[in-house]
Each structure stands twice: as C-alpha cells, then as structure tokens.
C-alpha cells in the first residue's frame, strides 16, 4: 500500500510543482521551468489532442481529482475494518438487538 501511494503521489507532485513553477516563470536558471517552455508544452499537447492549449490544465486538474478519489476509495476499502473500529470508538457502538432502547423502556413503564 505504501508503494501504491508513493507511485501515485510522486508524479502528481512532480506535475504540480512543474506547473506552478513554470506558470509563474520561477526558472532558477533551468529551461524546463520557464514560461516559454510552459506555453510550448501546452501548445504541443493542444495540437496533438486537437483542442485549445488553455483548456488542458482544467482537464488535467479534473483527472487528478478523479484519480485522487479512486485512490482514496481503494485505501478506504482496504482499511474498512480499521475505519469501522475507529468510528465505533469515536461515536459509540450502535445499539444491538439485545439492548432495548430507552424509548421502548419509557413506553413500557408508562403503560397501565
């Protein structure tokens, strides 16, 4: 599970870091981090996909969000027993069929 998270998070962080630095032209002397490269990369992707280059970043952001929900769903499924135990500790155990509720006790005692 640890490697699954690492292999998902590293490309996402690398892409987000490159996008943020190149968008604001914080190149630190590296050509890959310049705004010129940023525009060129999205222009190439736009030409290959046949869509305007300015529509690609929102599509990538949506894809990352969907992938994140899928990854979190897989983690929640794998950890469902631990999550259920935490929920029971945090919010109290659900009443079992053996333990009658307080409402049914009150109605029985008030009956003639």
Q: What is the pLDDT of residue 92?
A: 83
Q: List the pLDDT tens digit at each of the 112 positions of the chain.
A: 889 899 999 999 999 999 999 999 998 988 999 999 999 999 999 999 999 999 999 999 999 999 999 999 999 999 999 999 999 999 986 555 454 555 555 555 555 5
DSSP letter for 20, please.
Answer: H
- In terms of Cα–Cα distance, which of 64, 30, 60 is closest to 46? 60
In residues, how long is the chain?
Answer: 112
- In terms of Cα–Cα distance, which of 2, 32, 31, 40 is closest to 15? 32
> Domain locations in the chain?
2-91
């Amino acid at each position: 599970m640890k490697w699954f998270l690492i292999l998902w998070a590293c490309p996402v962080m690398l892409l987000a870091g490159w996008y943020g630095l190149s968008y604001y032209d914080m190149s630190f002397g590296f050509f890959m981090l310049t705004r010129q490269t940023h525009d060129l990369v999205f222009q190439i992707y736009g030409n290959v996909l046949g869509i305007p280059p300015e529509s690609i970043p929102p599509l990538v952001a949506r894809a990352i969000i969907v992938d994140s929900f899928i990854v979190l769903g897989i983690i929640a499924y794998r950890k469902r027993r631990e999550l259920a135990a935490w929920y029971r500790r945090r919010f109290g155990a659900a009443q079992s069929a053996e333990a009658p509720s307080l409402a049914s006790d009150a109605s029985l005692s008030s009956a003639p």
